Structure 1
Amino acid sequence: MSNLQQVLSMLKQNTKEHYKEVERLLEKVINNILKDPKNVKLRTLKKSNVTVSQKILKSPGGVECLKLMGFQESDSDFTLPLHAPLQHLELIKENISVENVFKETPVEKVLHKVELPKFSSKYTNKFLQEVEHRFHLARIHDDVALQDQAKELICEAGIEAKAIQSMRSIQKNVLAGDLEDPNISMQEVLLSELLAWFKNDFFSWVDSPKCEKCDSPTKFSHMSTDSELLKYTDRVEIHNCTVCNASTPFARFNDLNILLATRKGRCGEWANTFTLFCRAMGWEARHVYDETDHVWTEVYSVAQKRWLHCDSCEAALDTPLMYESGWNKKLSYIIAYSGEDLQDVTWRYSSRHKEVLSRRKKCTEIELVSAICSLRNERQKGLSETRREYLNKRVLCELIEMMVEKEATEKDKKGRTSGSMAWRLSRGETKRDFEGKIWKISDTNIFSLKYCTSLDQYLVNNEKIKNFSDGVFKMNGVFRKEEKDWRNAYLCREETVSVGSITWAFQVDFDQKSIDEIIIYFDYTTYEDGNVTVSLKNENKRVDFIKGQKELKTFDFSNSKYIEITATLTGGSGSVYWQHAQLFRQSLDSEKFPFTVEIKLK
């Protein structure tokens, strides 16, 4: 794929409405330079310029588009050298129109039929028939032509560069004593970067498509029975416009050739395509199907000699208990499929094995084990004896691993983030509210808490505590975001959350003492019309930070034993409004503390 095609592909990840403004600004930059090509000022775009930063640099494909024009990046700006050929600007101008970027590739032009062997199930049990059918379809990910097609779409050089940068950062923090050695391999770092790229730059989530007639939101109505619409898939949803009531079809494709072109859908399309990408990277990967309606990928870690859970919809790596602990799923059957193997992996995804076992009623356990062994042995007949022996040993190790019930970590307890909040709440797969830590202050005259966003770490009276959520009392729709390209980290709202809030709580747990003075440094950043309000309160009193204020010293809570610090995030503009109110933004290389609390007792 050419560089231009890659850039156009990235630009398509913007919403159509947002991209219209991106196109306008890019064309303005190009036209200004073409009219006065020797004007150095017109050839320089300052990163500090809010319009440039928010509308171009932070939009998918924006930076890549500038670099394709010939712009060179420095710490403070993007500059087009005087010797850069103007033909590049003209080429970009010819191709970045909204109509060109968002044009749909006709399905007929992307079909590359992969002929799988004919399928006829040998089982009478409906569930076992489905297992056999999915195992049959899993062969599709081994198709070399499809893998080559996927490989051309992967921004491999960029992913590798970020992986190397991440590995160096990990090593630096380990050497400094700020991070326990995670014993992570380059394959795993690459996998993490591939997940981030796939979610943020390549594939798009669709709850309901925009109206084809007026571009307004739509709402699901029914499944289509139109034979013309069902030409390339057996499932097409019809969504009705909430404004003009026109109908818009949304096809749920399984064909990977089509998905590589459309690049949109829900978890089925995401997992199907991401599994192919992992195979294209040369990794052993499995397509994992959960009977409670979700799909994801597993990739085999050569270094750890075990399968890693990978959810491309969430960009989640190795957090297998999140569905049970974070999404509140009542799991039953989870089966992993590849071209040469299948496995019941339910037990990897649960810490409540007996509870899960009580829900498995689609067939007997003996019938399921027998079917899996039979299907696996039949598929592996054509493999070499060495390969079969290797696979058998790997299966044995996996079965032993899954016998142990593991405890959920904080990462496992996070609710679902893919899909709109309303859609997630309707499925019971996310938690709008969170309640946790109250910092207890005892046997000290001065309590000190500091938080470093880049390390995601608290320093509490010289004790290091990882993960910002571990120190939070209440949280509504706020998460920690890393901008890998810009090397920044901050707390902000989740997408679709209009009002986010986060609260830290402190309690004096010492009879002879109470609060005297409170000293707070609370850094935040806003863009466009984003807004952050900060307040201190307890049951008797409330003190608000003045707008723009980031430091506060107060005796107003003197003699109290309890205090809460709450930040509320609102406002913002456009499709990334949720990023326009940020807490504790700092460089990933920084080790400063943008949030500090000092409580003096008396």
Structure 2
Amino acid sequence: MAPVFTTVKQLLEENSEQQFLDAARILIKFADNVINNPNEPKYRKIRLGNPTVESKLLPVAGALECLFEMGFVEDEEFLTLPGNTSLATMRQIHSELNKYVQSMEKVNGPSSSQPAASPLTSVTTRAPPNPPQNTPTSATTRAPPNPLQNTPTSATTRAPPNPLQNKSRQQITEMERKFFAKIENNLIHVVIYEDPRLQQKARSIIPVENLKTEAHVKLETIKKTDSSAMTSIDFRDLMLLELLAWFKNSFFHWVDAPKCDSCGGETQNVGMAEPTTDEIRWQANRVEHYKCNRCQRFVRFPRYNHPEKLLETRCGRCGEWANCFTLCCRSVGFEARYVLDWTDHVWTEVYSEVQKRWLHCDPCENVCDKPLLYEAGWGKKLTYVLAFSKDEVQDVSWRYSAKHTEMLSRRNECRESWLIQVIHRLWKAREPQNSTQRNEEMKNRLLTELVEFMSPKSGDGQNLTGRSSGSLAWRLARGETGPPTSLNTEPYIFKLSEVERKSKVFHVKYNCARDEYIRISKNGEVTKSFSACVNKQQNVFRKEESDWKMVYLARSEGSTTASLSWKFDFTGMEIDNVEICTSSQTFENGVISWRLCSENQCAILTDAAEVKSYRELCGAEEMTLTVMMSGGKGDVAWQHTQLFRQKMDNMEFYPLDIKVYFK
């Protein structure tokens, strides 16, 4: 169905006949003014606060859509028709509206308000129509789907309630106006990432050659370990992981409250300040105001929104992180989208050519391809998640939730059909900018994406945890430390296999360069990620130093203390002797303390690059290994306690090595 006919049909079907007639006549008048006076600026502006517009147009479903389809765009309190807009579509809509109005007036008279048969009555009803079907095979159906749209209802799978059912038409229209303005603002913003000069500036800062070298090294390692993996991952994917790690660990840093620029003391927020001309130039319309607890000076913290400025400041919160990281991705040739979560978070998506799908990338957390992190790990109640690029805006909410029905019940800022139509219209507006080949490529990608959205994911086995970026108080205030009881993985406990019971030996070790555990006594079983086998952890992340070619576990930036513990349950077997290597390193006045405890006994361990023997736990059937990190000096105190520090290419040495012999 042609888009023009679709918008007029919606206007006709979703309202009473009198509402349709009133709105149609106003729309015809607006179109008449422009068509008859194409060079008159005053007819190209519609004030949204006009009483007639407010009472007769805004409350009517489909009326704003008709204006947008004609070519009008939001311009603060006005709708404006740009001077270079073709009037062809406007003439089509004008003709369609005239046709229906005349047919109704022919039956009931020009001023009749009595109901009459609609010209479409034979094929339609007055109930709100379903959103367009979710296949991109025609020009009108290229928007993200409602994954529940075709779900059959039953006593156990009822459709969720309409969250907008208690809102008036005028309230809904006003909410949708604001929603559209938010979409439009972000579409305008992402064009900045395409600036060649800005991309060059970013490339001059990014250690591209070093990242490529590291990606090639890891690629060769993967080839040797698992040659079949090369069909699902390539150099570009590994390059993305290197870029993500560099950005998190070496380039950008998190700011909860800025340090005093005079004495370096801690500061306290005291409200907001007026932005200066230069701050506004760099899109810092919000400036936080702080006061130093030590010297009482005031400190400004502009929330810059221009990625060029962020390449210089290299700091901020999630908005600044995602903004700058998306630019960095575009600068090194990745196709990237800026992703906005309506519940107040932002991140990036990068397209993988070999995997033929979009990968979730959160630079604040150094996390890739874990889209359920926010719902299952942080405990967020997601609503709308939209992705923006120079080519498109897409509703990608369904990728980030395993609970589609629950999420749909919270989506109360616009009608689902309206959102689909808006996204489709914006897509169509960008098609002429691209080649036929590019448009076909985009259509194929979307088809794959729609199929992905239809199948909710599971977060099982992904080690999804609460947020790590930001202070604990900040994370608690936002409710992003994760659910009280984990929805994904329980704290890990090592338990004996039958093979280990028979051999009376338990042996596990960890290599930080590989970021993997190997269970020697369990047929060489391998587990990726240091946190996967940890029982408890606080303020710890894996740090890679690209310049020094070193890797280690460190405290989260800005934290004063951190801890890790590993728990072992040997029920039915009594410990005879424990041999442990805990190779770590401190700088300045950093402190690392190790403790190995059973229920009744503890042994204090010393950092050493070689295995040491401990018999203090003899007779126990369980044990816990705990390490505490604290101390250090200055802003980089968090780096002065380093666990398992080793060269990135050292794949043979295991700085954590635990071997238990049983009686």
Whole-angstrom CA distance in 2 between matches of 1:283 and 1:545: 47
Check whether the contact 1:492–1:578 (CA below 8 A) recurs between aligned residues.
Answer: yes
Correspondence for 1:208: 257
Give RMSD over aligned pairs: 3.1
**Cα distance 1:182–1:320, how it changes in 2: closer, same or farther (>3 A)?**
farther
Matched letter for residue 362 of structure 2: D
Whole-angstrom CA distance in 1 between matches of 2:658 and 2:632: 28
> Where does the alignment leave 5 or more consecutive residues of structure 2 unmatched?
1-72, 80-171
Matched letter for residue 483 of structure 1: E
- Given the alignment, which residue of 237, 242, 247 partners 2:288? 237
Whole-angstrom CA distance in 1 between matches of 2:208 and 2:642: 26
Correspondence for 1:567: 627
Whole-angstrom CA distance in 2 between matches of 1:519 and 1:201: 35
**Cα distance 1:383–1:499, how it changes in 2: closer, same or farther (>3 A)?**
closer
Matches within 5 A, 1:486-505: 486-505=548-567
Matches within 5 A, 1:431-580: 436-441=491-496, 442=498, 443-444=501-502, 445-460=504-519, 461=521, 462-466=523-527, 467-510=529-572, 513-545=573-605, 551-580=611-640
Deviation at 1:142, TM superposition (A): 3.5
Matched letter for residue 465 of structure 1: V
Check whether the contact 2:512–2:644 (CA below 8 A) recurs between aligned residues.
Answer: yes
Matched letter for residue 345 of structure 1: V
Check whether the contact 2:581–2:608 (CA below 8 A) recurs between aligned residues.
Answer: no
Deviates more, 1:340-349 or 1:172-181: 172-181
Whole-angstrom CA distance in 2 between matches of 1:432 and 1:530: 32
Structure with bigger gyration radius: 2
SS state of the match for residue 248, structure 1?
strand
Check whether the contact 2:211–2:243 (CA below 8 A) recurs between aligned residues.
Answer: no
Whole-angstrom CA distance in 1 between matches of 2:174 and 2:463: 34
Matched letter for residue 533 of structure 1: S
**Cα distance 1:526–1:247, how it changes in 2: closer, same or farther (>3 A)?**
closer
Aligned positions, number: 484
Correspondence for 1:599: 660
Whole-angstrom CA distance in 2 between matches of 1:200 and 1:469: 17
SS state of the match for residue 366, structure 1?
helix
Check whether the contact 1:532–1:581 (CA below 8 A) recurs between aligned residues.
Answer: yes
Whole-angstrom CA distance in 2 between matches of 1:584 and 1:238: 40
Deviation readout 1:101-133 (Å, 9 max, x if unpaired):
xxxxxxxxxxxxxxxx98468793424533444
SS state of the match for residue 150, structure 1?
helix
**Cα distance 1:378–1:160, how it changes in 2: closer, same or farther (>3 A)?**
same
**Cα distance 1:393–1:224, how it changes in 2: closer, same or farther (>3 A)?**
same
Matches within 5 A, 1:284-433: 284-408=335-459, 413-430=464-481
Deviates more, 1:190-199 or 1:453-462: 190-199
TM-score, normalised on structure 1?
0.72
Correspondence for 2:208: 159
Matches within 5 A, 1:137-286: 137-142=186-191, 146-155=195-204, 158-176=207-225, 183-225=232-274, 231-232=280-281, 233-286=284-337
Same amino acid, percent of matched pairs: 38
Deviates more, 1:378-387 or 1:306-315: 378-387
**Cα distance 1:397–1:525, how it changes in 2: closer, same or farther (>3 A)?**
same
SS state of the match for residue 502, structure 1?
strand
Check whether the contact 1:159–1:193 (CA below 8 A) recurs between aligned residues.
Answer: no
Deviation at 1:446, TM superposition (A): 1.7
Deviation readout 1:540-591 (Å, 9 max, x if unpaired):
1122225769644333333321111222222222222222222222222221
**Cα distance 1:234–1:139, how it changes in 2: closer, same or farther (>3 A)?**
closer
> Where does the alignment leave 5 or more consecutive residues of structure 1 unmatched?
1-116
Deviation at 1:411, TM superposition (A): 5.4
Whole-angstrom CA distance in 2 between matches of 1:230 and 1:588: 41
Whole-angstrom CA distance in 2 between matches of 1:559 and 1:202: 49
Deviation at 1:292, TM superposition (A): 0.7
Whole-angstrom CA distance in 2 between matches of 1:304 and 1:180: 11
SS state of the match for residue 413, structure 1?
coil
Deviation at 1:407, TM superposition (A): 2.1
SS state of the match for residue 558, structure 1?
coil
Check whether the contact 2:558–2:635 (CA below 8 A) recurs between aligned residues.
Answer: no
Correspondence for 1:130: 179
SS state of the match for residue 492, structure 1?
strand
Matched letter for residue 234 of structure 1: N
Deviation at 1:343, TM superposition (A): 0.6
Whole-angstrom CA distance in 2 between matches of 1:516 and 1:226: 67
SS state of the match for residue 195, structure 2?
helix
SS state of the match for residue 358, structure 1?
helix
Whole-angstrom CA distance in 2 between matches of 1:529 and 1:303: 47
